[in-house]
Amino acid sequence: MNVRVKLFALTQDLAGTSEVSLELAPPVTIAAIRLALAEAAPALGPILPSCAFAVDNEYSTNATEVRDQAEIACLPPVSGG
Amino acid sequence: MIELTEAPIDAEQIRLAVSSPQCGAIVLFLGTTRQFTDAKETLTLTYTAYAPMAQSQMEKLAAQAQARWPVEKCAIVHRLGEVPIGEASVAVAVSSPHRRDAFEAASWLMDRLKELVPVWKKEHWAQGGTDWVHPGLFPSQDDNGVQ
């Protein structure tokens, strides 16, 4: 299953791209996406444990299962306001 | 009025958006960009967002505030792009029949916004260089803001 992960702010700068495409065997969880993302973009490794993930605009947990075509985002700690 | 905008925030427009004859209180909070972070001087800030999620999270927070307090109307506006020093980057406004609820709801909304709404800011330092602000990501930074 193809999963595209959107990146923002520092994660985007470190990876040098706004989106990373991953190929994963289902069932795909956020935990699996974290591991695959760290391999695909090693520069993200040190900060990924501090990043949250969103699935279709909702915060997820590591156990969240991702359906095909879902929109996945990697969210470094937010600093709005 | 729940929105992300690249335009300067118009406080009067936000006040009007929450104004109601049922309400004896309007609390309007403006978060403004600050020149100094400790001794370090900022020239300007740039805000970026995961826009669809930021919008839906702000709408959800407004609904939660209205469920929790007798809040008549709620407005949340976050500015994106470059925000010069001293200008508002965020506005939260709440109207309610009585003032205590409006103060509490507005304060709660700002706290939750800073925890949950996917918006990020980048500091452009007077001494040169830039840094993304990611609270809790790094324990310390050196004087150049370089890891």
Q: Cα(B67)–Cα(B135) distance, rounded to whole angstroms? A: 29
How confident is the model at residue B145, as a pLDDT? 39
Q: Cα(B106)–Cα(A50) distance, rounded to whole angstroms? A: 28
| DSSP-assigned beta bridge partners for residue B25 | B96
For the stretch A22-80, pLDDT in tens is 999 999 999 999 999 999 999 999 999 999 999 999 999 999 999 999 999 999 999 99
Q: Cα(A34)–Cα(A74) distance, rounded to whole angstroms? A: 9
Confidence of residue B137 (pLDDT cuts 50, 70, 90): confident
- Answer whether B45 touches A (CB < 8 Å): no
- Answer whether B60 touches A (CB < 8 Å): no
How confident is the model at residue B142, as a pLDDT? 43
CATH class for the region spanning B2-128: alpha beta
Q: How far is B31 from chain A (nearest CA, A)?
A: 6
CB-CB under 8 Å, B133 with A73: no
Q: How far is A76 from chain B (nearest CA, A)?
A: 7
Q: Cα(B118)–Cα(B80) distance, rounded to whole angstroms? A: 12
Instruction: Please tell me which residue of chain A has the smallest CA distance to B133.
Output: A79
Is 70 exceeded by the pLDDT of residue B91? yes
Q: Cα(B104)–Cα(B24) distance, rounded to whole angstroms? A: 15
How confident is the model at residue B141, as a pLDDT? 44
Domains of chain A: 2-75 (3.10.20.30)
Instruction: Label residue B107 exposed, middle or buried (CB < 10 Å: 0-12, 13-18, 19+).
Output: middle
Cross-chain CB nearest to B134 (options A10, A54, A57):
A10
Q: Where are the beta strands (DSSP E) in B63-134?
A: 73-79, 81-84, 88-96, 119-125, 130-133
Is 60 exceeded by the pLDDT of residue B53? yes
Q: Cα(B73)–Cα(B99) distance, rounded to whole angstroms? A: 13
Q: Which of A4, A72, A79 to mutate to test the interface with B (most CBs of B within 10 A)?
A: A79
What is this model's ipTM?
A: 0.95
CB-CB under 8 Å, A54 with B53: yes
Token pair 């800073």: residue: B114
Task: Find, among A79, A58, A7, A52, the residue nearest to B113 by Cα.
Answer: A79
How confident is the model at residue A55, as a pLDDT? 98
Q: Domain locations in chain B? A: 2-128
How confident is the model at residue A22, as a pLDDT? 97
> Residues for chain B: how many in total?
147
Cα first-last separation, chain B: 39
Confidence of residue B38 (pLDDT cuts 50, 70, 90): confident
Cβ-based contacts of B78 with chain A (< 8 Å): 80
Residue contacts between A and B (CB atoms, under 8 Å)? 78
